[in-house]
Structure 1
Amino acid sequence: MSARRTTDPARIRAPRRLRAALLASAAAVGLLAALMPGSASGDVPPPAPGWTLQWSDDFNGPVNTLPSATNWQIDTGHNYPGGPANWGTGEIQNYTANPANLSLDGGGNLRITPLRDGAGNWTSGRIETRRADFKAPAGGTLAIEGRIQMPNVTGTQALGYWPAFWALGAPYRGNYWNWPGIGEFDVMENVNGINSVWGVLHCGVNPGGPCNETQGIGASRACPGATCQSAFHTYRFEWDRSVSPNVLRWYVDGQLYHSVDENRVGAEAWTNMTSHAGYFILLNVAMGGAFPDGVAGHATPVAGTVSGRPMLVDYVAVWTRGGGTDPGPGDPTALHLRSGGTLGPAQSPASTVTLASAGGANHDGAPSNPQVFTASGVNGAYTGGSTQFDLFVDAGTTVANGQQVRVSYDRTGDGSWERTETYHYFATDPVPGYEHYTQARGLKSQTGAHGTMTNGRVRVEVWNAIGNGPSTLGIGNQSRLTVPIG
């Protein structure tokens, strides 16, 4: 599901791709649901030998309730704030948090349902994981898998339906104009009710570039056995750093149908899409846009498109195999803000800490009663990059609160902070719910310089710079810092 796929018919995925599906191989992937494709719901399968479950959601819960707020954030409207219109793809629906569009079905599935009202307006649902650090370990493999039934609609009634299960590079959050360089992995896409799954890589520059944007490097094939629309199938993506060259692979029901290695796209594009903190996962059903329009040969949806056919998602899971916990050469180091004031690997379950009220005073640039998080024993060379962060903050219903962050680097652990960065504060809205405070706010001030760290320390201080009420900071597996040390 391209973040910014053009609506120019000359650059969309052409219908010829329907005839270009790769023959499936008999590759074994090790992690498949134990159920037959058509059965309604099942548990996340246990890890196969050598694999470790990193994150999952089984979508268990009462009927007509929203998916877990700990695991997912809900996208609404026609675009990200300040991002491309119509989500960059030309799709026409309005995404909502209405359970009619987005909810659990009470039987272990997530249900995303496009609906058309009496005036012809479409609504639907789109969610993305709060975590944005899914990444293959150095020398290991990452697998992203979902068991999904596409909307059960075909023919004219399906024109405009565009279900997708995909992942975007973490730096897209808070920027929204750096696609496709940050990378996009489309684990499963489908349009217009065709019995076919598309797997696509987006990278490099737009238009053109090593990934042939805006089309991307993709392949498609029919779903094995039952059609994609009539039954559940397991869609899987792997990012393998255990082989040289590194390779990406796409599967449906355990059958490999697409792969791309780093030599195909070149070192620069590969590095840009793999050397950041990781990826976040998305699920949505769009209506209309460049892809379904291009395949249909005309604008979609049409008068005969039927409303109310949901995509059902049984589970989404992320596994890793092999490799180490240390970043590879040149990779930045990703650290999560954790309970106990530490920085390190993600913790589950998620938790929160309170940022004390600024009490009506102005603490812009000067930490006041901050929450402090520290990592010690940090080693590595400066990569030449910059600090990145994604802090989950919420001021509840408090008006005019502004959170602020300062990041400091002690390169030798001797107590001197050779590099300090203070970012402009982030003014949260008075509506309950997490917002993303990222480095896109820009630096307010900086002192010193980056350099090689030997048994060094990294410190993060977060506080309320302005306002009259407390705020909440999500920690554990939520707020993340990426330092340019590899």
Structure 2
Amino acid sequence: MRSRPLFIASLAAPLLIAASLTVVAQASAPTPPAGWSTVWVDDFNGPANTLPSGANWIIDTGHAYPGGPGNWGTGEIQNYTSSTNNLGLDGAGNLRITPRRDGAGNWTSARIETQRSNFKPPSNGVLAIESRIQMPNVTGNAALGYWPAFWALGSPYRGNYWNWPGIGEFDIMENVNGINSVWAVLHCGVNPGGPCNETSGIASNRACPGSSCQSAFHTYRFEWDTSISPNQFRWYVDGQQFHTISQSQLPADTWANMTSHAGYFILLNVAIGGAFPDALNGPTPRAETVPDRPMIVDYVAVTQRGGGTTPPPTSPPPTSPPPGGGGNAYSTLQAESYQEQGGTGVEATSDSGGGQNLMGLGNGDWARYSAIDFGSSAAHQFVGRVASGASGGVSGLVEVRLDSRSNAPIGSFAVANTGGWQSWRSVPANISAVTGVHDVYLTFTSGQPADFVNVNWFTFGH
């Protein structure tokens, strides 16, 4: 999803077209201050007119996730592409996302999201997500419909595009229509209404310090603090805090639903049109809206302070169930260690840790894992380590069923091509609450006969 705040606070932005201004970005992310350590960073260093690192970023394309809400759930009109015409490094340490308009009036732009989806603070620590960005340098009527953003979505959204906003969304920087203002928004709970007043969210905004948001780089930062009680979310621009939400402001289940899953992935995009820009200035874009004004991103960095160490997504839990069945649901369940199967095969894996993976899984295939113990504290999440080299248009569901293959799934996620049959990704999904000991079935369902997924391991979480 994306935020759609209709909240507007003390905006005083003249509708004038700003002159172009060249600003030089720093070459790399700053060194974290004492007590902080780097979790993940991309400085966007590389040759001009090349795409950002595929090891770091997924490029979203089209008008929706496969099976997700149309127009990305927000009414935005552009088509996202993987073309360097819309998305590319500039050779000077920056990423540029540039909306374009063709002669027929069709808009294109770009949207990327991190491969990693487990960004969250260490226990009793703080996580910070930060970027130095110059918004598209366009204002007034020429900017109507521009919607740049730097934000994060809860990992269970991947593969299940209908669980927003319960899984949480942190909008670290949003802007529309070239207004000299940065919006910070939390989305949570249920839609419409709920504790976060959806679809607006809990929002605050302010003008950028000093130079306008459009004419210069500014640093946008979000902190998730579990070192204090109640926990806090905090938003900053150029080091100045302007939005805070405390755990005590929200119902306990709402807070838990957005903070107890595997973590968050980070997104950067420039949308054109949609609910937020339209809410401020009527239908957008307009004939006077100009294309070709990029959002320029110097770096994205994730840092942490205190607590333990956040594990990388390729590190599964440390133990495996015995080959004869019986195992802890919260340990690693190696996919090849089934007790019964139909239609599957195994092969050596290149994934971290080695071993084997289930291969070539398609519609109707399945595997059973006997006597898996979920304990007395209910599991609410399933995470599968998957890869796919399926051809375009081929996708399917990885489903979890209990005790019988004919029982309804308790949860599932969708998967399509991940970049290759050994290009691995950890994908989370919400499941119905489970306690006790059960036979666990992985089942695979697709509308096409072709194989669509490999599985290396899976596990469950609270």
Interval of TM-score (by shorter of Structure 1 and Structure 2): 0.7 to 0.9
Letter in structure 2 aligned against 1:240 = D
Provide the rounded CA distance (Å) in 1 between the counterparts of 2:363 and 2:185. 51
Letter in structure 2 aligned against 1:226 = S
Of residues 4, 8, 13 in structure 1, which corresponds to 2:6? Answer: 13
Query: Cα–Cα, structure 1 residues 172 and 356, in superposed 2: closer, same or farther, change >3 Å?
Result: closer
Letter in structure 1 aligned against 2:177 = N
Which residue of structure 1 aligns with residue 291 of structure 2? 307
Letter in structure 2 aligned against 1:222 = A
Verify: 1:70 aligned to 2:55, yes or no.
yes
Which residue of structure 2 aligns with residue 386 of structure 1? 380
Contact 2:361 2:454 in 1 (8 A): no
**Partner SS state of residue 71, structure 2:** helix
Verify: 1:323 aligned to 2:320, yes or no.
no
Contact 1:109 1:312 in 2 (8 A): yes
Query: Cα–Cα, structure 1 residues 150 and 481, in superposed 2: closer, same or farther, change >3 Å?
Result: farther
Letter in structure 2 aligned against 1:255 = Q
Of residues 93, 115, 119 in structure 2, which corresponds to 1:108? Answer: 93
Q: In the TM superposition, what whole-angstrom CA distance separates every residue of 1:396-447 from its partner, at most 9, and x where no partner exists?
A: 6599898979999xxxxxxxxxxxx99989775598586978566989xxx9
Provide the rounded CA distance (Å) in 2 between the counterparts of 1:282 and 1:290. 19
Which residue of structure 1 aligns with residue 264 of structure 2? 279
Query: Cα–Cα, structure 1 residues 230 and 245, in superposed 2: closer, same or farther, change >3 Å?
Result: same
Letter in structure 1 aligned against 2:208 = C
Of residues 97, 102, 106 in structure 2, which corresponds to 1:117? Answer: 102
Equivalent residues in 2 for 1:83-482, closer than 5 Å: 83-296=68-281, 298-325=282-309, 336-337=314-315, 355=357, 364-365=366-367, 382-395=376-389, 428=416, 438=427, 449=436, 481-482=459-460
RMSD value, Cα: 4.3
Which residue of structure 2 aligns with residue 374 of structure 1? none
Q: In the TM superposition, what whole-angstrom CA distance separates every residue of 1:327-381 from its partner, at most 9, and x where no partner exists?
A: xxxxxx997446999889xxxxx969674755999963269xxxxxxxxxx9x97
Q: In the TM superposition, what whole-angstrom CA distance separates every residue of 1:314-333 from its partner, at most 9, and x where no partner exists?
A: 1101111112359xxxxxx9
How many angstroms does 1:266 deviate by?
Answer: 2.4
Query: Cα–Cα, structure 1 residues 362 and 276, in superposed 2: closer, same or farther, change >3 Å?
Result: closer
Letter in structure 1 aligned against 2:11 = L
Which residue of structure 1 aligns with residue 35 of structure 2? 50
Q: In the TM superposition, what whole-angstrom CA distance separates every residue of 1:153-174 from its partner, at most 9, and x where no partner exists?
A: 1111111000000001111111
Q: In the TM superposition, what whole-angstrom CA distance separates every residue of 1:208-231 from its partner, at most 9, and x where no partner exists?
A: 111111111111111111111111
Which residue of structure 2 aligns with residue 413 of structure 1? none
The range that moved more, 426-435 or 255-264, is 426-435
**Partner SS state of residue 380, structure 2:** coil
Letter in structure 2 aligned against 1:449 = G
Which residue of structure 1 aligns with residue 461 of structure 2? 483
Give the length in aligned residue pairs: 414
Which residue of structure 2 aligns with residue 33 of structure 1? none
**Partner SS state of residue 219, structure 2:** strand
Provide the rounded CA distance (Å) in 2 between the counterparts of 1:214 and 1:263. 21
The TM-score normalised by the length of structure 1 is 0.73
Query: Cα–Cα, structure 1 residues 158 and 85, in superposed 2: closer, same or farther, change >3 Å?
Result: same
Provide the rounded CA distance (Å) in 1 between the counterparts of 2:121 and 2:394. 40
Which residue of structure 2 aligns with residue 31 of structure 1? none
Provide the rounded CA distance (Å) in 2 between the counterparts of 1:322 and 1:365. 41
Query: Cα–Cα, structure 1 residues 190 and 432, in superposed 2: closer, same or farther, change >3 Å?
Result: same
Which residue of structure 2 aligns with residue 39 of structure 1? 24
